[in-house]
A and B are shown apart, each in its own frame.
Chain A
Amino acid sequence: EVQVVESGGGLVQPGGSLRLSCTVSELSFTDAWVNWVRQAPGKGLEWVGRIKSKADGGTGDYAAPVKGRFTVSRDDSKRTVHLQMNSLKTEDTAVYYCTTDSIHGSSSIRFDYWGQGTLVTVSS
């Protein structure tokens, strides 16, 4: 059974930094692309960013509100993806979910497996 586990959330002051981690088990991690999606309290879902597999370039794409402040990286040896969040704002307060785009047979299914999420609170 595929497991996606996020960690690293917590309380941080505006302007501060935080690094989230996402560890994935039981799928071909090196082939997977990984997304971060967030959900502010009582609100809907917002895509944050994504990192491709190293075979596909290993590059990241980001939503406009976080571009230049957030960076996604991966360590395939540890089956882990990180979300480095800098210059945090109060509006970044949310539960952050990690979700995979993984290979099933000969095709890719996007946003197939989700973690339980980790809460980030930006407040003074």
Chain B
Amino acid sequence: DIVLTQTPLSSPVTLGQPASISCRSSQSLVYGDGNTYLSWLQQRPGQPPRLLIYRVSNRFSGVPDRFSGSGAGTDFTLKISRVEAEDVGIYYCMQFTQFPRTFGQGTKVEIK
């Protein structure tokens, strides 16, 4: 199985400051069709997960542009340009290049 390792596991951030989460894969996530199937999810406290970013760098409908994704191959990053109070929660990377689909352990973003 592909293992996704996120760092850090906890990220205390000052409101208005940037935050960055890394996701490293145990194997390349480039699929045979040339696409890289790496997504980022947000889970606010008490809420279900929500799709933020798909295929590395594409924001899903309704996602604020302060969220951005980048990376290639085995190394990926989610950035929040200016953290707002509503961004508190746990962020997961996930891959669907291979079965089984796997998730990172999650990174908790909280306000300092």
Contacts and interface: CB of A to CB of B under 8 A. Distances in A.
B66 interface: no
Interface of B is mostly: loop
Given A112-B60, A114-B50, A45 B103 contact: yes
Interface in A58-117: 61, 63-64, 97, 99, 109-117
Nearest to B35: A107
A6 to B, nearest CB: 10
Interface residues of A, number: 21
Contacts of B54: 109-112
A110 B99 CA distance: 14
B69 interface: no
Given A44-B92, A45-B92, A115 B48 contact: yes
Nearest to B1: A64
Contacts of B92: 44-45
B41 A47 contact: no
B100 interface: yes
Interface of A: 35, 37, 44-47, 50, 61, 63-64, 97, 99, 109-117
Interface of B: 37, 39, 41, 48-51, 54, 60, 92, 94, 96, 99-106
